[in-house]
Amino acid sequence: MIAFKLAIRNLFGAGLRTFLNVLILSISYVVIILLNGFYQGWGEQARTDSVKWAYGQGQLWHASYDPYDAFTLTDAHGAIPESLNDAVNEGSVAPILLAPATVYPEGRIKSILLKGISINQKAIALPSDLMIATGDEIPAMMGTRMAKSMNAQLGDFILVRWRDANGTFDAVEIRIAAIFNTPMPPVDAGQIWIPLKSMQEMLRLDGEATMIISGDESIINADLSDWKFQTLPALLSDINELIEMKKVGGSIMYLILLALALLAVFDTQILSIFRRQKEIGTIIAMGMTRKQVIAIFTVEGAMHAILAIFLGALYGIPLLVSMRKNGFAMPEYADDFGVPIADTIFPAFSLALILGTILLVTITTTIVSYIPARKISKMNPNDAIRGKIQ
Amino acid sequence: MNNKTIITINNLAKRFPIGGGEFTALKNINLKFEAGEFAGLVGPSGSGKTTMLNIIGSLDNPSDGDVTLLGTSIKKINPKRASSLRKHHIGFIFQTYNLMPVYTVYENVEFPLLLLKKSAAERRKAVLDALEWVGLMDKIKSKPKQLSGGESQRVAIARAMVKRPELVLADEPTANLDKENSYHILDTMVKLNKELNTTFLFATHDDKVIKYLNRIIRLEDGKVVADDIIKK
Ligand SMILES: Nc1ncnc2c1ncn2[C@@H]1O[C@H](COP(=O)(O)OP(=O)(O)OP(=O)(O)O)[C@@H](O)[C@H]1O
Ligand SMILES: [Mg+2]
pLDDT digits (tens, 9 = 90+) for A126-169: 999 999 888 888 999 999 999 999 999 999 999 999 888 788 88
Phi, psi angle pair for A40, to nearest 5°: -60, -50
Distance (Å) from the alpha carbon of B162 to chain A's nearest alpha carbon: 12
In whole numbers, what is the pLDDT of chain B averaged over residues? 91
The answer to whether residues A144 and A181 touch, using CB atoms and an 8 Å cutoff, is yes
The answer to whether residues A381 and B59 touch, using CB atoms and an 8 Å cutoff, is yes
Written as one letter, the residue type at B207 is D
Tell me which DSSP letter residue A238 carries: H
Cα→Cα distances A4→A95, A109, A300, A371, B72, Å: 68, 74, 8, 18, 32
| End residue of a domain, out of A186, A212, A230 | A230
| Strand ordering across the sheet containing B72-73 | B21-34, B5-18, B64-69, B72-73
The rounded average pLDDT for each run of 10 residues, N- to C-terminus, in chain A (390 residues) is: 72 81 87 85 87 92 87 87 89 93 89 94 92 88 92 92 84 93 88 94 92 86 85 88 81 82 82 79 87 84 88 90 82 62 78 86 88 77 69
Distance (Å) from the alpha carbon of A385 to chain B's nearest alpha carbon: 8
Cα→Cα distances B180→A253, A330, B174, B183, Å: 64, 77, 11, 5
Q: Which residues of A touch B166 (CB under 8 A)?
A: none
Same domain for A224 and A252, yes or no, is no
Same domain for A148 and A188, yes or no, is yes
Same domain for A180 and A273, yes or no, is no
Q: Which domains does chain B carry?
A: 38-61+78-229 (3.40.50.300)
**What pLDDT, on a 0 to 100 scale, did the predictor assign at position B92?**
92
Residues B139, B121: Cα–Cα separation, whole Å: 20
Residues B174, B90: Cα–Cα separation, whole Å: 19
How many other CB atoms sit within 10 Å of the CB of residue B209? Answer: 24
In tens, the pLDDT along B88-117 reads 999 999 878 888 887 899 999 999 999 999
Confirm whether A73 is domain-assigned.
yes
Confirm whether A149 is domain-assigned.
yes
The distance in angstroms from the start CA to the end CA of chain A is 30
**What pLDDT, on a 0 to 100 scale, did the predictor assign at position A11?**
79
Same domain for A266 and A303, yes or no, is yes
Confirm whether A101 is domain-assigned.
yes
Phi, psi angle pair for B216, to nearest 5°: -120, 120
- Interface residues of B toward A, Cβ cutoff 8 Å, are 54, 57, 59-60, 79-80, 83-88, 90, 92, 94, 96, 98, 100-103, 107, 111-112, 114-115, 117, 159
What phi-psi label fits residue B137: left (phi over 0), alpha (psi between -120 and 50 degrees) or beta? alpha
At residue B1 the predicted structure's pLDDT band, cuts being 50, 70 and 90, is very low
Same domain for A142 and A39, yes or no, is no
Do residue A6 and residue B85 have CB atoms under 8 angstroms apart? no
Confirm whether A28 is domain-assigned.
yes
Residue A89: name the closest of A115, A137, A114, A123 by CA. A123
| End residue of a domain, out of A190, A212, A230 | A230
Half-sphere exposure of B201 (CA within 13 A, CB side): 27
- Interface residues of A toward B, Cβ cutoff 8 Å, are 2, 5-6, 9-10, 12-14, 278-279, 281-290, 380-382, 385
The answer to whether residues B100 and B108 touch, using CB atoms and an 8 Å cutoff, is yes
| CB within 8 Å of A381: residues ≥ 6 apart | A280, A281, A284, A285, B59
- Find the DSSP H helices in chain B: 49-56, 79-89, 105-115, 120-133, 149-161, 179-196, 207-212
The SS3 of residue B212 is helix
Same domain for A87 and A41, yes or no, is no
The SS3 of residue B226 is strand
Q: How many domains does chain A have?
A: 2
Confirm whether A390 is domain-assigned.
no
The SS3 of residue B131 is helix
Same domain for A214 and A297, yes or no, is no
Residue located nearest, by CA, to atom 16 of ligand 1: B48
- Find the DSSP H helices in chain A: 2-14, 16-50, 85-90, 144-150, 196-203, 232-275, 277-285, 290-326, 351-376, 381-385
How many other CB atoms sit within 10 Å of the CB of residue B110? Answer: 21
The answer to whether residues A368 and A375 touch, using CB atoms and an 8 Å cutoff, is no
| CB within 8 Å of B195: residues ≥ 6 apart | none
Do residue B117 and residue A279 have CB atoms under 8 angstroms apart? no
In tens, the pLDDT along B134-154 reads 889 999 999 999 998 888 988
Confirm whether A15 is domain-assigned.
yes
Best to test chain A binding among B81, B98, B159 (most A CBs inside 10 Å): B98
A164-187: burial string, b at 16+ Cβ within 10 Å, e else? eeeeeeeebebbbbbbbebbbbbb
| CB within 8 Å of B72: residues ≥ 6 apart | B81, B85
Same domain for A249 and A278, yes or no, is yes
**What pLDDT, on a 0 to 100 scale, did the predictor assign at position B106?**
95
Confirm whether A186 is domain-assigned.
yes
Residues B41, A201: Cα–Cα separation, whole Å: 116
- Residue in A9, A282, A286 nearest the CB of B107: A9
Written as one letter, the residue type at B186 is L
Same domain for A66 and A47, yes or no, is no
Same domain for A126 and A243, yes or no, is no
ipTM of the prediction: 0.87
Residues forming a β-bridge with B21: B18
**What pLDDT, on a 0 to 100 scale, did the predictor assign at position B165?**
94
Same domain for A307 and A160, yes or no, is no
The answer to whether residues A281 and A385 touch, using CB atoms and an 8 Å cutoff, is yes
Residues A278, A190: Cα–Cα separation, whole Å: 73
| CB within 8 Å of A333: residues ≥ 6 apart | none
**What pLDDT, on a 0 to 100 scale, did the predictor assign at position A388?**
60
For residues A192, A195, A198, A203, the Cα torsion angle rounded to the nearest 10 degrees is 50
Q: Which residues of A touch B90 (CB under 8 A)?
A: 287
The SS3 of residue B135 is coil
The distance in angstroms from the start CA to the end CA of chain B is 13
The SS3 of residue B211 is helix
Tell me which DSSP letter residue B73 carries: E
Burial (Cβ within 10 Å: 0-12, 13-18, ≥19) of residue B53? buried
Residues A29, A301: Cα–Cα separation, whole Å: 16
Same domain for A198 and A337, yes or no, is no
Q: List pocket residues of ligand 1, CB cut-off 6 Å.
A: B 16, 18, 23, 25, 43, 45-51, 95, 203
Distance (Å) from the alpha carbon of A278 to chain B's nearest alpha carbon: 6
Residues A175, A347: Cα–Cα separation, whole Å: 39
Residues forming a β-bridge with A79: A208
Burial (Cβ within 10 Å: 0-12, 13-18, ≥19) of residue B130? buried
Phi, psi angle pair for A321, to nearest 5°: -65, -45
Confirm whether A160 is domain-assigned.
yes
- Residue in B57, B79, B115 nearest the CB of A290: B79
Burial (Cβ within 10 Å: 0-12, 13-18, ≥19) of residue B221? middle
Residues forming a β-bridge with A161: A102, A171
Structural domain that includes position A203? 59-230
For residues A147, A151, A156, A157, the Cα torsion angle rounded to the nearest 10 degrees is -90
Distance (Å) from the alpha carbon of B217 to chain A's nearest alpha carbon: 23
Q: Which residues of B touch A2 (CB under 8 A)?
A: 114-115, 117
Whole-model pTM over 0.80 = no
| End residue of a domain, out of A172, A203, A230 | A230
